[in-house]
């Protein structure tokens, strides 16, 4: 016996080749607990198998995945975020997503099941926090790392998709009620396309003081001091109106192991020699104090 149809997250996907809507299980029964299909297909005959780990690869002919996180980067992300060090960011993102949905009677999918999309979702950590805040919501997590997509798929509320954020996103127009982007690149024109009218982008950008104590000591990359302002300027050109910006600050007290995980999970890991990182981290005195300092911007699609 088949269960109910796939969740709204799976019903808003689009073919990366032709852009047509995808439907679940054109050749077979409903998937896991009725929430996850086994196969996706479009009217033109393109088919995409859902991997046994729970994610689906929706890659077009020009899609790139070589910039995605490695297995070690994903493991470090699980370790660091799982310890709660960035909990203030998770809370702020979930609060902003919940506020964006307050008072909305229907969803982008045309039902009472809101759709939350995260671009550059990684392990799905922040998406899961937002889904916790909005009962009945469905999630779509896009990432260019197979290792991250596998991890994000462990949340049954999330449709985990391997995709290139700089290609056309594999979603239908007006697919999402809320789009999340946490420390991740995003194509704002594509964000505007996939947001429903009145939907919101919740974007997290680092401020100049973020992890400033560690930048030189462990080789973290520098931060553009005008990152949030630049985001809002580009967003306006894409048809997204800035409505709110919140600054989130807290003090971190980290072990050397946590510092190592913090570096390994981010872009600096691509530029640092592991032996050099180990030497730098070993020279730190515990607890290692650092500043968490980010902006959470909310931008609304007015069309």
Q: Is 210 annotated as a binding residue?
A: yes
At 102, list the tokens: 């307050």
Q: Are 73 and 79 in contact (CB under 8 A)?
A: no
Cα torsion 223, 202, 151, 211: sign: positive
Distances in Å between the Cα of 216 and the Cα atoms of 212, 252, 259 are 8, 17, 13
- Residues 190, 194, 195, 200: is their CA dihedral positive or negative? negative
The DSSP H or E segment spanning 254 is strand 240-254
Cα of 257 vs its chain's centroid, Å: 25
Q: Half-sphere exposure of residue 95, counting CA atoms within 13 Å on the CB side?
A: 13
CB 179 within 8 A of CB 198: no
- CA nearest 13: which of 175, 189, 200? 175
Three-state DSSP at 125 gives helix
Consult the annotation and say whether 106 binds a ligand.
no
Q: Is 125 annotated among the ligand-binding residues?
A: no
126 is in an annotated binding site: no
Binding site, by residue number, is: 42, 46, 86, 123-124, 210
Binding site for Zn(2+), by residue number, is: 42, 46
Binding site for S-adenosyl-L-methionine, by residue number, is: 86, 123-124, 210
């Amino acid at each position: 016996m088949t269960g109910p149809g796939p969740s709204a997250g799976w019903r808003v996907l689009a073919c990366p080749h032709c852009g047509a809507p995808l439907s679940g299980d054109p050749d077979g029964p409903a998937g896991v607990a009725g929430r996850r299909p086994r196969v996706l297909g479009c009217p033109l005959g393109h088919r995409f198998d859902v991997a046994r780990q729970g994610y689906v690869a929706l890659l077009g002919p020009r899609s790139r995945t070589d910039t995605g996180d490695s297995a070690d980067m994903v493991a470090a992300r699980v370790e660091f975020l799982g310890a709660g060090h960035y909990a203030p960011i998770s809370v702020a993102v979930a609060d902003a997503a919940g506020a964006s949905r307050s008072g909305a009677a229907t969803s982008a999918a045309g039902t009472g099941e809101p759709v939350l999309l995260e671009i550059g979702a990684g392990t799905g950590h922040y998406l899961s926090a937002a889904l916790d805040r909005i009962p009945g919501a469905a999630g779509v997590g896009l990432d260019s790392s197979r290792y991250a997509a596998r991890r994000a798929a462990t949340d049954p509320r999330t449709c985990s998709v391997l995709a290139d954020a700089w290609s056309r996103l594999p979603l239908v127009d007006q697919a999402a009620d809320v789009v999340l982007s946490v420390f991740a690149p995003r194509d704002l024109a594509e964000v505007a396309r996939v947001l429903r009218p009145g939907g919101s982008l919740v974007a997290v950008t680092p401020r100049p003081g973020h992890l400033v104590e560690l930048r030189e000591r462990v080789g973290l990359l520098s931060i553009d001091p005008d990152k949030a302002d630049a985001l809002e300027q580009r967003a306006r050109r894409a048809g997204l109106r800035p409505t709110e910006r919140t600054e989130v600050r807290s003090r971190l007290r980290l072990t050397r192991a946590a510092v190592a995980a913090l570096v390994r999970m981010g872009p600096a890991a691509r530029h640092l020699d592991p032996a050099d990182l180990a030497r730098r981290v070993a020279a730190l005195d515990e607890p290692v104090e650092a500043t968490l300092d980010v902006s959470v911007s909310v931008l609304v699609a007015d069309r």
